[in-house]
Amino acid sequence: MGQEVTCTVRHQGKSAKGKALLETSDLILRGNLRLKIPFSTITSLRAVDGELHVRTKGGVTVFELGEKAEKWREKIANPKSLIEKLGPKSGDAVVIFGNFEADFLRDLKKVDVVMEEKVSAATQWIFLSVEERESLKKVPGIAKTMRGAAGLWIVYAKGQKELTENDVRGAGLKAELVDVKVARFSETKTGLKFVVPRERR
């Protein structure tokens, strides 16, 4: 889930108030003036007196963010890797269900996690790739084996009518888990993170 700030933005001679969102790979403004600035299009970036100056081929857009200007500049200039955003660290026990891109699996192994074949009390991270509603039937069984602060990432394709965010969230909630985070896995896939409610840990 991205960060958001209600602020004033100056863009191409216009000034407007709206909600600025710092997402995984885009800087977005919602309101009367709507903007979407992919990080890949930014040619220069600086924070000055509480303002974030973002230059692209279309000119400079200024976000009046106050004390968050420098923090946002740092996050845009030095984005976290996907694995850092998801949470696994060296030594963590991880279980994989379903088909994942080779790049993701390679990056996961680079972190030096401990890959396991099945969920146990020691498992800290579970990744489940689902391509259809039928695949969600695995969620209740996985949920029953989760202990402590273990996290379950359910990964699915974006914009599919056959399997929507509501389907995925509903499966997690029905299994008595709570969704706490969303992450962009790739150009075509997204993921929801579920955990056991604190009162049941």
- The alpha carbon torsion through 184, 188, 193, 194 (nearest 10 deg) reads 160
Q: Which pLDDT value is given to residue 25?
A: 81
Residue 56 pairs in a beta bridge with 59
Secondary structure class of 120 (helix, strand, coil): coil
pLDDT above 90 as % of the chain: 75
Among 77, 105, 136, give the residue marking a domain's end.
77
Note if the pTM is more than 0.75: no
The whole-number average pLDDT for the span 57-82 is 92
Cα dihedral sign, 29-30-34-36: positive
Q: Whose CA is closest to 15, among 56, 64, 57?
A: 64
Does the structure show a pLDDT above 90 at 184? no
Domain match, 62 and 14 both: yes
- Report the alpha-carbon distance of residue 68 to residue 73 in Å, rounded: 9
Q: What is the CATH number of the domain that holds 44?
A: 2.30.29.30
Domain-ending residue, one of 27, 44, 77: 77
- The whole-number pLDDT of residue 2 equals 52
- Judgement on whether residues 86 and 60 belong to the same structural domain of the protein: no
Model pLDDT, residue 80 = 81
Q: d(Cα 72, Cα 78) in Å, to the nearest integer?
A: 10
In this structure, is the dihedral angle defined by the CA atoms of residues 68, 186, 105 and 191, taken in order, positive or negative? Answer: positive
pLDDT digits (tens, 9 = 90+) for 135-172: 999 999 999 999 999 999 999 998 888 899 999 999 99
Per residue in 6-58, pLDDT (tens digit) is 999 999 988 999 999 998 788 999 998 999 999 989 999 999 999 999 999 98
Q: Are residues 59 and 96 in the same domain?
A: no
Which pLDDT score, from 0 to 100, does residue 36 have? 94
Backbone angles phi, psi at 134, to 5 degrees: -55, -35
Domain that holds residue 94: 82-200
Share of the chain above pLDDT 70, in %: 99
State the average pLDDT for the chain. 92
CA distance 6 to 8: 7
Output the pLDDT for position 1.
41
11/64 same-domain check: yes
Which position has the token pair 């407007």?
A: 16
DSSP code of 34?
-
Measure the CA–CA gap between 84 and 92, rounded to whole angstroms. 13
State yes or no: pLDDT of 92 exceeds 60: yes
State how many domains the chain has. 2
Contact between 135 and 127 (Cβ < 8 Å): no
| Residue 157 contacts residue 189 (beta carbons within 8 Å) | yes
Contact 65, 20 (CB under 8 A): yes
Strand ranges in 39-129 using DSSP code E only, listed in sequence order: 44-48, 51-56, 59-64, 93-97, 114-116, 125-129
Structure token pair of residue 159: 């914009």
